[in-house]
Amino acid sequence: MINLYLLRHGKTLGKPALNGHTDVGVKESVQKSIAQALLNNYDFQAVYTSPLIRCKRVAELLAEYNPSLDIRYDNRLREQSFGQLDGIPFDELNDEWATLEAFWSAPGETTLPEAEPLEEGYRRVIEAWEQLVEECQQDTVIIAHGGPIRYILAHVLGLDWKNPRWYTALAIGNQSISHIQINRYQGKPYFSVCSIATSLTDTSGN
């Protein structure tokens, strides 16, 4: 049995925005608290991470605190690109609100201007996930974003990843953990979703 822990990064700096490929950071004290909480509360030997700094920095700190960890960076674990609206604070959106609402109501069929189609994002994340599952031989933390974590959970549970309620009704909070176990039988993986988006710890940084 192998344990996989899907960690969503901490709350990003700056105004609330649709941050996809925009490389916005997280308060350093929060990043340190996340890394320490992982090491204190979970037993794992490997880390896969999105290369965006809000995820990557946690992996860097984990490597500093425990040099024996196997750290791997995978570009396919990045958040969705939201094109022209990527990184723009919500309170600065004007005429774009109608476009954004159309996307939220049917994300599988609607693509924001110059953005990555949802299906392309889903496919690249699941490609990374399936390779990870095939290669994984030890308990592992995957540091990623809300979108990719939802893609993986939908894939494992056999749910419709295009359903807009999957993105609006399912809360994947910052610095939350989703726990999946893998059991292999005759070379085939069988998954158990043990928990979804449980709180890591108090990592407020105060």
Digit-by-digit pLDDT tens for the chain (206 residues) are 999 999 999 999 999 999 999 999 999 999 999 999 999 999 999 999 999 999 999 999 999 999 999 999 999 999 999 999 999 999 999 889 999 999 999 999 999 999 999 999 999 999 999 999 999 999 999 999 999 999 999 999 999 999 999 999 999 999 999 999 999 888 899 999 999 999 986 444 44
Query: Is 204 part of a structural domain of the chain?
Result: no
Feature table: binding site: 54
Q: Per the domain annotation, does 102 fall within a domain? A: yes
pTM summary value: 0.95
Q: Which two tokens stand for residue 195?
A: 């928990």
One-character DSSP codes across 84-95: GGTT-BGGG-ST
Domain extent, residue 45, equals: 2-199
Give binding residues for substrate as ranges. 54
139 falls within a domain: yes
Residue 206 lies in a domain: no
Residue 17 within any structural domain of the chain: yes
Is residue 90, in this structure, part of any structural domain at all? yes
Task: Please report, for the domain that includes residue 178, its CATH number.
Answer: 3.40.50.1240
How far the first Cα of the chain sits from its last, in Å, is 37
Three-state DSSP state, 189: strand
Q: How far apart are CA 46 and CA 192, in angstroms?
A: 20
Tell me the catalytic residues: 9, 79
d(C-alpha 9, C-alpha 11), whole Å: 7
Query: What pLDDT score was predicted for residue 185?
Result: 87
Q: What is the pLDDT of residue 83?
A: 97
In a domain, 9, yes or no: yes
**Counted domains in the chain:** 1
